[in-house]
């Protein structure tokens, strides 16, 4: 019998997110670092909230797999201990806070975006870019969020695609450097260059230094949308979670620039949340496309077939799609310059 139960799950989806966001804001998981156990009474005192909210928050976080019962109290699950305790190498709280503070309220007006085809988190008529009105603290949250997601996506990509045949990787729009760091760790012969805006390079250099890879990963400042050419001397170019930000015309231009920068035999790897060719899912890719409506002027999520057609038109051959499971991507479209 068909019931509205699936619809109820969709309608109440924000309950789980806002519970997580509130717990992060109150630093609940940080207070429980190191498997510390907290009782309801202690939660009242330490979080500064009354008895009923403390009881409800602890129960809700346990139901979401973020806390587990231990005697008369609660402690972090392995998931929360690893990703929701501030200071952990792959802290995910930045992603939670960025979405809560930057995109959650604009999403309330998504029908406006559907009617106007204009972003909601910024105004292209008065601002130069998505981040032109964002303070340094919010930008730090954004890059921290991207680094956590990208690290695990890079590991999945490194398992699904063999970078062992390549010597020099160019990560276009590489942000804080998660992909080169993880790929260079996995493939000892690989050297890498991150090509991104100059102020982003400083963030990447700090991460590279902390990883002990300054001898294998470098940064070059530039703008892949406006610079006439990309840095040369690389035999594989990576575009990870980049092309969903732009429309087809801009993406074709980016791919043409990548083609010109590669030597014969060089490869290009496009890592994204890919739609299926019928454009009916998966939900992670389709809903990311809706988020691009909220946050960008022309972005959307594309299918592997669409990327393949553009790559072929740009002069690439041997186009294929590989699939994997990761927080920031579900596959990659790979091609070669003949």
**Residue 2: predicted pLDDT:** 94
In this prediction, what percent of the chain has a pLDDT beyond 70? Answer: 99
Asked if 77 and 155 sit in the same domain, the reply is: no
Q: Look up residue 1 and give its two tokens.
A: 């019998």
**Residue 133: predicted pLDDT:** 65
- According to DSSP, residue 276 is labeled P
d(CA 35, CA 155): 27
pLDDT tops 70 at residue 335:
yes
| Three-state secondary structure call for residue 334 | strand
Q: Last residue of some domain: 57, 83, 109?
A: 83
Asked if 25 and 162 sit in the same domain, the reply is: no
- Alpha-carbon separation of residue 67 from 58, 63, 72 (angstroms): 7, 8, 13
Give the model confidence (pLDDT) of 154-173 as tens digits. 999 999 999 999 999 999 99
d(CA 141, CA 286): 24
Cis amide leading into 282 (omega within 30): yes
Asked if 179 and 325 sit in the same domain, the reply is: yes
Asked if 265 and 162 sit in the same domain, the reply is: yes
Range of the domain at 228: 150-336
Give the model confidence (pLDDT) of 254-284 as tens digits. 999 999 999 999 999 999 999 999 999 999 9
Q: Which DSSP string do the residues of 29-98 spell out, in sequence order?
A: HHHTTTT--EEHHHHHHHHT--HHHHHHHHHHHHHTTSEEEETTEEEE-HHHHHHSSTTSTT--HHHHHH
In this prediction, what percent of the chain has a pLDDT beyond 90? Answer: 90
**Residue 23: predicted pLDDT:** 98
pLDDT tops 80 at residue 146:
yes
pLDDT tops 70 at residue 330:
yes
Give the model confidence (pLDDT) of 102-120 as tens digits. 999 999 999 999 999 999 9
Asked if 158 and 302 sit in the same domain, the reply is: yes
Known catalytic membership, residue 199: no
Q: Last residue of some domain: 45, 60, 83?
A: 83
**Residue 199: predicted pLDDT:** 85
3-state DSSP helix/strand/coil % of the chain, to nearest 5: 50, 15, 35
pLDDT tops 90 at residue 86:
yes
- Using the Cα atoms of residue 283, residue 115, residue 277 and residue 327 in order, give the sign of their dihedral: negative
Q: What is the largest CA-CA distance in the chain?
A: 67
Q: Are 146 and 98 in contact (CB under 8 A)?
A: no
Within a domain: 313: yes
Within a domain: 295: yes
Within a domain: 101: no
Give the model confidence (pLDDT) of 220-251 as tens digits. 999 999 999 999 999 999 999 999 999 999 99
Q: What is the mean pLDDT of residues 125-147?
A: 78
| Three-state secondary structure call for residue 317 | strand
Q: Last residue of some domain: 83, 108, 131?
A: 83
In this structure, of 7-11, 104-108, 144-148, 283-287, the range with the lowest mean pLDDT score is 144-148
**Residue 202: predicted pLDDT:** 87
Asked if 241 and 331 sit in the same domain, the reply is: yes
How does 53-71 read in b/e, with b if 16+ C-beta sit within 10 Å? ebeebbebbeebebbeeee
Q: Is 116 exposed, middle or buried (0-12, 13-18, 19+ CB in 10 A)?
A: exposed
Where residue 262 sits, what CATH number does that domain have? 3.40.50.150
Within a domain: 241: yes
Query: Which pLDDT band, with edges at 50, 70 and 90, does 332 fall under?
Result: very high
Say what the pTM is.
0.94
Task: Given the residues 108, 166, 199, 244, select the one marked as catalytic.
Answer: 244
d(CA 222, CA 130): 18
**Residue 66: predicted pLDDT:** 98
Where residue 78 sits, what CATH number does that domain have? 1.10.10.10
Q: What is the mean pLDDT of residues 50-70?
A: 98
**Residue 127: predicted pLDDT:** 85
d(CA 216, CA 5): 52
Asked if 15 and 156 sit in the same domain, the reply is: no
Give the model confidence (pLDDT) of 164-200 as tens digits. 999 999 999 999 999 999 999 999 999 999 999 998 8
Mean of the per-residue pLDDT values of the chain = 95
d(CA 191, CA 215): 9
Within a domain: 91: no
Give the model confidence (pLDDT) of 27-46 as tens digits. 999 999 999 999 999 999 99
| Three-state secondary structure call for residue 304 | helix
How many domains, the chain?
Answer: 2
């Amino acid at each position: 019998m068909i019931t509205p139960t699936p619809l109820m799950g969709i309608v109440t989806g924000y309950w789980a997110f806002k519970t997580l966001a509130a717990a992060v804001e109150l630093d609940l998981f940080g207070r429980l670092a190191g498997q510390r156990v907290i009782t309801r009474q202690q939660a009242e005192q330490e979080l500064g909230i009354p008895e009923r909210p403390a009881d409800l928050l602890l129960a809700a976080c346990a139901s979401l797999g973020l806390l587990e019962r231990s005697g008369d109290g609660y402690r972090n699950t392995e998931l929360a201990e690893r990703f929701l305790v501030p200071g952990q190498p792959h802290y995910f709280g930045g992603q939670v806070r960025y979405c809560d503070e930057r995109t959650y309220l604009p999403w309330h007006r998504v029908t406006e975006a559907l009617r106007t085809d204009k972003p909601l988190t910024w105004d292209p008529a008065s601002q130069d870019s998505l981040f032109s009105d964002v303070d340094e603290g919010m930008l730090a949250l954004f890059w921290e969020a991207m680094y956590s997601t990208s690290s695990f996506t890079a590991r999945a990509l490194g398992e699904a695609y063999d970078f062992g045949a390549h010597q020099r990787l160019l990560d276009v729009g590489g942000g804080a450097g998660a992909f080169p760091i993880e790929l260079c760790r996995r493939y000892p012969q690989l050297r890498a260059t991150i090509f991104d805006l100059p102020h982003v390079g400083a963030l990447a250099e700090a991460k590279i230094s902390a990883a002990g890879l300054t001898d294998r990963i470098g940064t070059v400042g530039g703008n892949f949308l406006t610079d006439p050419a990309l840095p040369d001397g690389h035999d594989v170019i990576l575009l990870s979670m980049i092309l969903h930000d732009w429309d087809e015309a801009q993406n074709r231009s980016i791919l043409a620039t990548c083609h010109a920068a590669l030597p014969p035999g060089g490869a290009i790897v496009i890592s994204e949340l890919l739609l299926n060719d019928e454009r009916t899912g998966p939900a992670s890719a389709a809903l990311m496309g809706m988020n691009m409506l909220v946050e960008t002027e022309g972005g959307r999520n594309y299918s592997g077939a669409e990327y393949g057609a553009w790559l072929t038109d740009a002069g690439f051959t041997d186009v294929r799609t590989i699939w994997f499971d990761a927080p920031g991507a579900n596959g990659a479209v790979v091609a070669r310059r003949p």
